[in-house]
Amino acid sequence: MAAKLSEARALTPELLTQYQAGFREKPEHKTIMNAIVKNGIGAVAIDHQAAYRMTHSFSHEIETGPITNQKQSGRCWLFAGLNVLRVDIAQKLGVKEFELSQSHLMFWDKLEKANYFLESILDTLGEPTEGRLVAWLLANPMQDGGQWDMFVNLVEKYGVLPKSAMPESFHSSQSMMMNRILTAKLRENAARLRAAHQAGRPESALRGDKETMMAEFYRMLCHFLGEPPEQFDFEYRDADKVFHAERNLTSKTFYQRYVDRSLKDYVSVINAPTDDKPFNHTYTVQYLGNVVGGREVLYLNVAVDVLSDLAVAQITDNEPVWFGCDVGKMMERERGSLDPAQFDLAAALDVEFSMSKAERLDYGESQMTHAMVFTGVNLVQGQPNRWKVENSWGTETGNKGFYVMSQSWFEDYMYQIVVHKKYLSADLARVLSETPKELAPWDPMGSLA
């Protein structure tokens, strides 16, 4: 590589002179430069008329509780999943406002992820430390993100709690330092396990070492997040001011009593239009998960119009839709709008941006970064033109925390929805029985919301 670079063309004074002349030949370049330097690209490139068209009104809306706030943490997927479940629970309880404990599932997710990571290290003892697989495992062993199937694993194993039974802690809401410390310990654990293996320590002894490490990890999590309650009392007043009290509940009994839906009946449907993922087939990702022995991540890849139709079908049946997207693209945070038309980067920078959705995935320009919930859609002659989005960033932005997404943004940056299997066509339902293709751990669809 060094030899080839030595033969490449360097940036010479002559080339720099050409670039300078090209920039200066249009007087408007200087005007735009001054505006962007002073105000930032967002303020200069925004098309206010397009932004104003993104109204927060919808032909179909689902009544939900107030917006939640994940604060300085990456728990959007947990918030989105619990926000879906709380719609049913609030209706059954007869209350307008209700919130489930995100800290509770965060605790168990981190414990399960630690176990999953250490098992992955034991599974790859024969791989070189500098190899791509082990390097990938070590890159980010403990973070807040997750996937729908990982959420299902947690809920089915540990149940759910009202937020009052396990409220937020300092580090559930500000997780960066906790994650750094947990990551450091897991990497140390990995180093110890691999060194012991190289020294000839038998697998049975390594597994004993792992259990000691997990006990230590549990203790750390209790210090950071508090220990989940084994039992709790649940007291509340319904919308008619009637007082209710239930004693000695567990998270499993609460889940079984108040959540009617079977999460196993829901499937992750994606739109990843890359050559290596033909539509109408299923996929999974190696070493992507949290609960060892739990449900594997499973994706059904479809065309984007199918993705849109499935989301519309579930919303118009008055059921919210969990989804994953690349939230940072073409977003106006103050208005809470997601729409490519509201930013004219080409005019502001005199540069065209023309990557396709597939190219953005293949070349690292886009991936799933955030999970939210669709709670409404606006249909014009049966077709969606904008979507109501329940975010988990508090009430300060958007319409009291609710965002609006255009259909064109949906087509460009939406990657995943979760819908009940009953909305799938017969052909797509049959596809679910096939053996999924395994994707490499570093595949863009292996990203965590």
Catalytic-labelled residue, pool 56, 104, 171, 370: 370
Task: Please check whether residue 383 is in contact with residue 406, taking contact to mean a CB–CB distance below 8 angstroms.
Answer: no
* Helix pair angle (148-158, 102-123), 10° resolution: 110
For 349-389, give the DSSP string.
Answer: HT------HHHHHHTTS----EEEEEEEEEEETTEEEEEEE
Catalytic-labelled residue, pool 83, 189, 301, 391: 391
Task: Please check whether residue 70 is in contact with residue 373, taking contact to mean a CB–CB distance below 8 angstroms.
Answer: no
391 is catalytic: yes
Cα separation, 194 vs 285, whole angstroms: 24
Cα separation, 78 vs 133, whole angstroms: 27
For 227-282, give the DSSP string.
Answer: PPPSSEEEEEE-TT--EEEEEEE-HHHHHHHH--S-GGGEEEEE----TTS-SSEE
76 is catalytic: yes
Q: Write b or e for each residue in 141-175: b if 16 or more Cβ atoms lie within 10 A of its Cβ, otherwise e.
A: bbbbbbbbbbbbbbbbebbbbbbebbebbebbeeb
Cα separation, 206 vs 4, whole angstroms: 46
The tokens 């917006």 sit on which residue?
67
Catalytic-labelled residue, pool 76, 115, 189, 290: 76
370 is catalytic: yes
Which are the catalytic amino acids?
76, 370, 391
